[in-house]
Structure 1
Amino acid sequence: IAVLIVLYVAFGLGNGATFQLVPHRWAGRTGLLSGIVGAAGGIGGFYLPVVMGIAKESTGSYQMGFATFAVLAGLAFLAVVALRRAWLGWSMRAHESGAPHVHATE
């Protein structure tokens, strides 16, 4: 039970951090971007049990479902690493041009 409580707290902190970053990054579009972030979470919440169920029905184990999401997480991580430098460059150019509500951080 203690492990579950720790996990719930950790997941809650992660969720809260995600939604707290939106107004700092996109102050003028907080509502729009919060909706997009929430929609992405909803899509993930829909597909996770579907994929896990398909994995369990076809193989008798959840292992393939976990492997699928591990690969997707790895690909997402690689995409963030690959795009980070370009993203910071775009942000810096917008900041230098005087665009409002742009925060470029390293």
Structure 2
Amino acid sequence: TLQAPLALPATGAVQLRVEVSERDDAGRRPVEVHSRPDGDGTGAPWTCPATGVLASDGPSPYSWDPRVWPPTGAVSVDADDLDPSLAALGYQYGPAFQGAQSVWKLGDEVYAEVVLPQ
């Protein structure tokens, strides 16, 4: 689950810390991703932009075969329409998150090939 965007500085780096907890009774392991700006020692607080769960069995997290790209049956759509469509829904991202090169739709799901700016 994405809780907040992972902020990338214009220059420098970001420290990442991934914490995997003990298995629960169902055999799942909670996971948390923490980040903070690099370079100022331990003074910057850690934030948690994402959480998740690791499981060794159960249904696939994918509704498609991740070995097949683009997903079978997906329809190509104009990549230039993606950012304005997301903005109309309230998702307004900066240039670092606007690098969609190719976009496909399969039902209500959207798949994209994204290239980050230099």
TM-score (ref. length: structure 2): 0.23
Q: Which structure has the higher relative contact order (CA within 8 Å, separation 6+)? A: 1
More strand by share: 2
More helix by share: 1
